[in-house]
Amino acid sequence: MNQQLQSIKARFGIIGASPLLDAALETALRVAPTDLTVLITGESGVGKEAFSKVIHSVSPRKHNDFIAINCGAIPEGTINSELFGHEKGAFTGAIGERKGYFETVNGGTIFLDEIGELPLDTQAFLLRLLENGEFLKVGSSKVEKTDVRVIAATNVNLEERVRNGKFREDLYYRLNTVPIRVPALHQRRGDIPLLFRKFAYDFAEKYRMDAVRLDKQAEGVLEAYRWPGNIRELKNVAEQLSVLSENRELDAAALIQLMPQLLQRDLPMATTGPNAFKVDDFQERDILYKVLFDLKSDLNDLKALIFELVSSNNLHMPDLSRLRSLPSGPFENNGNGYVTEYNTGPYPAYAPNEGPKVQPIVLDPKRPVTTDTYTIGDGEIVEGPITLSEIEKEAIKRALKKYKGKRKEVAEELKISERTLYRKINEYNLQSIS
């Protein structure tokens, strides 16, 4: 299988050694000799059409026709005619009979991209075709037969569209006979430098110039970027650098100067130092940065609210310098293993040249006492200094509740990979949160 994988990669120009990519290709090769319907999912720009061509090329239908159709690019009023054909006079402008794609590609393979954009009536026609190979032309009552293998692809969540009534549930399960998930570029960051070099050499040959090369830190910048446009966006960046850069050797600073969008992140990122551009470090820190920024924002709002209340009600702020002169805290170790609490009140009154009047109260020795208490989550009181892991756990817990356990959305909210999120969920035992 490994030798066949390498052969397929070389044949179709698929670059990368990611386990996720190899697993998707292995599934494609195993299902290719059958006539099973395949549903390819993944973000826009990951190369779903390439997988459909791989399946067709190693299938028994490889000598017959292959056609790729973008369902989202065909108007709703004409898509039935495009797919299934129409009879003369079936509608205004139908001056003659027309064969649809399913008839012309009989014996071959049809790749339906953006399958989630199909109208509901077209979905019903497609379901019938998948079930028994039958279809009706627009304006005809004669049942036609065809033998076509269907490979579908989508970048949207079809299960969510089913719940919203925008996609037929029976069609979804019929299409999803064999699912193939194509990983996004940020899920296989180790392949990014290889892909960039391939694109850089291609454009160097196209424009008759030397290829642009990046040093290790510049490659680290590429690996740290989220790449929402995936391979398509990386290819555009390689072409822009090939054309715009005067130097053929680029370091991180030169790369950022030409492509400042590569540093567009929701959270800060280190750009210098021995640990610069380590992607795993960013994924670990992103949760903490997000929580800390949220806390800072909440604190600023609280300050503004307090000052507004004080100014609008003619109140006076306490003398903070006098409060700082009091003992360092309301608790003091009395030397016998217990703790004494001083009841000073909010504003202790005392005469000049006298210390604060306090009354010692010995606390219950059965209750552990600490000078630091924090509120975490839904009113949970945590004693002692709060740790970064507790902040991280709380951030993940809140995001899981917000998105009702949908881990893909949680990972995007926290700006970490799904693999890191799964590891953190297991580490903090948060599997039951939804």
Topology match between the domains 2-89+98-183 and 187-263: no
Q: Residue 10: which of 30, 32, 25 has the closest Cα?
A: 25
- Can you give the residue ranges of every domain in the chain? 2-89+98-183, 187-263
CA distance 213 to 247: 9
* End-to-end Cα distance, the chain: 39
Chain-centroid distance of CA 410 in Å reads: 8
Q: What is the pLDDT of residue 397?
A: 85
Task: Per residue of the chain (434 residues), give pLDDT as tens.
Answer: 688 888 999 999 899 989 999 999 999 999 999 999 999 999 999 999 999 999 999 999 999 999 999 999 999 889 999 999 999 888 888 888 889 999 999 999 999 999 999 999 999 999 999 999 999 999 888 999 999 999 999 999 999 999 999 999 999 999 999 999 999 999 999 999 999 999 999 999 999 999 999 999 999 999 999 999 999 999 999 999 999 988 899 999 999 999 998 887 544 444 444 445 444 444 455 556 556 666 766 776 777 667 666 666 666 666 555 544 544 444 444 444 444 444 444 444 444 444 444 444 344 444 444 444 444 444 444 445 556 677 788 888 888 888 888 888 888 888 788 878 888 888 888 877 76
Domain 2-89+98-183 classification at class level:
alpha beta
Right CATH for 187-263 from 1.10.287.130, 1.20.1050.10, 3.30.300.30, 1.10.8.60: 1.10.8.60
Supply the angle between the helices 279-312 and 388-402 in degrees, to the nearest 10.
80
**Angle, helices 388-402/418-427, rounded to nearest 10 degrees:** 110
pTM for the structure as a whole:
0.60
Output the furthest CA–CA distance in the chain (Å, rounded).
108
